Amino acid sequence: MYTKRLTPWFYLIPALAILGFFLVYPSFHTLYLSFFGKRSHTFVGAGNYIYVFTNRVMLTAFRNNVLWVAVFTTVTVFLGLILAVLFDRVKYEVIVKSIIFMPMAISFVSASVIWKFVYAFKPGGTPQIGILNALLDTFHLPPVAWLIEKPWINNFCLVAVGVWVWTGFCMVVLSASYKSIPKQFLEAARIDGAGEWGVFWKVILPLLMPTVIVLATTMVVFVLKIFDIVYVMTNGNFGTEVIANRMYKEMFLFRNFGRSSAIAVVLLLLVLPVMLLNLRRFRREERR
Amino acid sequence: MTEKMSRSLSRGLLHTVIIFITLLWLIPTIGVLVTSFRPAQDVANSGWWTVFESIFSSVRLTLRNYEVVLSRLGIGRAFLNSFLITLPATLIPLGIALFAAYALAWMRFFARTFVFMIIIALLVVPLQMTFIPILQIFNKSSLAGTFPGIWLAHSGYGLPLAIYMLYNFISGLPKELFDSAAIDGAPPFYIFLYIVLPLSVPIIASLTIFQFLWVWNDLLVALIYLGGTPDVAPITVQISSLVGSYGQDWELLTAAVFISIVPSLAVFFGLQRYFVRGILAGSIKE
C-alpha cells in the first residue's frame, strides 16, 4: 500500500529536484539578493529598484522593450496571418511556407550577422557592400548608418531581425487554424457580397482571434527577454539597450549582483500577469 | 473589363506579392552564402550580388574562408563543442520529463494539482531570475565552465515545456489502454515502457527537435555558465566574439555563420513535419 502511494514520486523526483534546483530556489534567492548591495553584503531596501526605474540607460532600455513588444508582436502575428491566408491560395504553398519558416532554424547570433551584413555601411562615394545601402545608391541617395542612426532607425532595424526569424512561427500556427475554418463560411460571406478584405476582417480574423491572442501572448513573453540580437549587433550602444542586455552587463561587466537581480525581478513582474492567466485557465480546465 | 480579366489580374498580383515577400526573406541568407565563398579582396570592394552580373566572365570563388575559420579562428573546435553540449542537453531533460509527464497524466496522488501548477508557473519564469544564484553554486562546486554544468542547466530550463507538452499528449491517450493493462496486472513501469513510450514517439520527436534547436542556437545560457573560454565555447559564443574582433571581415564571419546553420537547417528540413506538429501541440490546445 505504501509503495503504491510512493510510486508517483519515483517518477517525479528527478524532475522536481532539477526544477527546484534550477528554477524555484534560484528565483527566490534572486528576489532576496535584489534587496542587497553590489556584493550582497549590505541591505539596501528598495535602492536597486529606485536605480532600475530612474537610471537614464535603464529608462532607454524600458522604452526599447516597449518598442520591441509593440512592433515585434504586431508585425510577426499580423504578417504571419496575412502570409498564411495568401499562401493558402497558391499551389506552391509548401515551398514558400518553408522559406518563410526557415529562419526559425537559424540562431539569433547567426541571424544578427546575416543582417549586420545587410545593413553594412560605408561612407558615400565608395562602393557599398551592404545590399540596403547599395539599393539607396542606385537611387542616388546617401548611405544610411542603419545601426547607429538613433533612436528609431537602429531600433527598428534590430526588431526587423527578430521579425525575420519569428514570422514563420506565427504563420505556421495561424495557417493550421485557418485551414480548420470550414470553407463554407468564407464562401457564404463572398456570396453575400463581401470583398476579400471584408472576408479577412469580418470572418477570418474573428474566427482566428483565440489563436491570435495565445500567439500574441507567447510573443510578448518571449520578446520581453530579447537579448542575443542586441548583444551581437550593437551591444546596447547608440540607444539600443534592452532590459535583458542590461541585466547581463550589470552581472558580468559591473559585477553588481543587487542591481542585476532587481532587473531580473522586474522582468518577472512583467510576465506575472501572463503566468496568473495561465494558472487560472489551468484551474478552470482541471475542474471540468 | 470582364470578370475573367480582373480575376487573372488579381491572380497575377497575388503571385507577384508572394514571390516578392519570399525573395525578401531569402536574399539575406543568399548574400551570406555567396560571400562565404568569395576572396577577401572582392568582398571588401564589391557587393556579393555582382557575382551574378559577371557570372559568365570571371567569378572568383574560394574555399579558403572556410579553411581559415575552421582551423585558425576556432570554429572547428566550437562546432564540436556545440554537439557535445547539445546532444546530452537534449536527451537528459527529455528522459526526465517523460517519467514526470506519465506520473502527472495517469497517476492520482496527493499534491498532483499543486505540482502541475508549479510547472505551469515555471513555463514563463525568465531565466534571468536564476543566473546569479546558480552561477555562484557552480563556481563553488567547479561546475562553471564545464559541459556537465551546462547540460544540467539546459535540462532545468527545458523541463517545464517538455513536461507540459508531453503531459498534454500522454493524458490524451485512450483510457482503455491503461485500464486493461492494469487489469492484466501490469506494473506502472511496464505500462510506461511498453504502452506510453511507443505511442509517444511523434511528440518525443517534436520535442527532441525543439530542444535540439533551442540548445544549438542558445547564446545566453552558454555565455553565463561557460564564459568565454574557447575550449568549451559553443559555436554561437565563438561567432559572437568573432563579430567583435573580425567585424569587417565579412568573408570570414559569413563562412562561420554558414557552418553554424548547416546542422540546424538539416534537422529542420529533415524533420520539419515533426517540428510543425510540435509547435501546434504546444501553442494551440484543442
Q: Is A147 helix (H, G, I), strand (E, B) or coil?
A: coil
Q: Which residues of chain B make contact with A176, given a CB cutoff of 8 A?
A: 276, 280, 284
Considering the domain boundaries, does residue A97 fall inside one?
A: yes
Give domain status of residue A284, yes or no. Answer: no
% of chain B with per-residue pLDDT over 70? 96
Instruction: Report d(CA B263, CA B279) in Å as an integer.
Output: 20
Among A145, A108, A112, A244, CA closest to B243: A112
Count of pairs with CB atoms under 8 A, one residue in A, one in B: 274
Query: Chain B residue closest to A9 (CA)?
Result: B103
A15–B243 CB contact, under 8 Å: no
Q: What is the pLDDT of residues B128-172, one digit of tens each?
A: 999 999 999 999 999 999 999 999 999 999 999 999 999 999 998
* CA dist A84 → A69, A149, A170, A175, B276 (Å): 22, 34, 9, 5, 14
For residues B177 and B195, the answer to whether their CB atoms sit within 8 Å is yes
Q: Which domain holds residue A237?
A: 68-248
Task: Give the CA distances from residue B108 to residues A6, A12, A277, B161, B200, in Å, rounded to whole numbers and listed in that order.
Answer: 11, 13, 25, 21, 21
The DSSP secondary-structure symbol of B193 reads I
Is the pLDDT score of B108 beyond 90?
Answer: no
B25 touches chain A (CB under 8 A): yes
Q: What number of H helices and E strands is found in chain A? A: 15, 0
The pLDDT tens digits of the residues spanning A10-61 come to: 999 999 999 999 999 999 999 999 999 999 999 999 999 999 999 999 999 9
pLDDT band (50, 70, 90) for residue B285 = very low
Q: Say if residue A151 is preceded by a cis peptide, omega within 30 of 0.
A: yes
Beta strands in chain A (DSSP E): none
Task: Give the CATH number, domain containing residue A152.
Answer: 1.10.3720.10
β strands within A170-212, DSSP E: none
Return residues 257-286 of B near A (CB < 8 Å): 257, 260-261, 264-265, 267-269, 272, 276, 279-280, 283-284
The whole-angstrom distance between B180's CA and the closest CA on chain A is 18
Is A32 inside a domain boundary? Answer: no
Confidence of residue B286 (pLDDT cuts 50, 70, 90): very low
Structural domain contains residue A138: yes
Q: For residue B9, how many C-alpha atoms fall within 13 Å in the half-sphere facing its CB?
A: 6
Could you tell me the sign of the dihedral formed by the alpha carbons of A74, B221, B81, B243, in that order?
positive
0.90 cut: is pTM over it? yes
The answer to the question of residue A265 being in a domain is: no
ipTM (interface pTM): 0.92
Chain B residues whose beta carbon lies within 8 Å of the beta carbon of residue A86: 14, 17-18
A43 domain residue, yes or no: no
The crossing angle, in degrees rounded to 10, of helices A152-179 and A56-67 is 30
Tell me how far apart the alpha carbons of residues A103 and B223 are, in angstroms, rounded to a whole number: 22
- Which residues of chain B neighbour A105 with C-beta distances below 8 Å? 213, 261, 264-265, 267-269
User: DSSP per residue over B94-150, as a string?
Assistant: HHHHHHHHHHHHH---TTHHHHHHHHHHHTT--GGGTHHHHHHHHHHTT-TTSHHHH
| pLDDT recorded at residue A274 | 93
The Cα-based distances of B233 to A249, A258, B202, B215 in angstroms read 19, 27, 32, 13
B182 vs B159, which has greater pLDDT? B159
- Per CB-CB distance under 8 Å, the chain B contacts of A227 are 219-220
Residue A29 is assigned to a structural domain of this protein: no
Q: What are the per-10-residue average pLDDT scores of chain A (288 residues)?
A: 77 96 97 95 94 96 97 97 94 94 95 96 88 93 91 95 96 93 87 86 92 94 96 95 96 94 97 93 82
**Contacts with A100 from chain B: Cβ below 8 Å:** 21-22, 25
The answer to whether residue A56 is domain-embedded is no
CA distance B217 to chain A (A): 4
**CB distance A131–B21 less than 8 Å?**
no
Q: Which residues from B are below 8 Å from A8, CB to CB?
A: 103, 107, 109, 112
Q: Find the mean pLDDT for residues B24-33.
A: 95
Number of domains in chain A: 1
Name every residue whose Cβ is closer than 8 Å to that of residue A181 and which is 6 or more positions away in sequence. Answer: A204, A207, A208
Q: Exposed e or buried b for every residue in B168-193, given b needs 16+ CB within 10 A? A: bbbeeeeeeebeebeeeebebeebbe
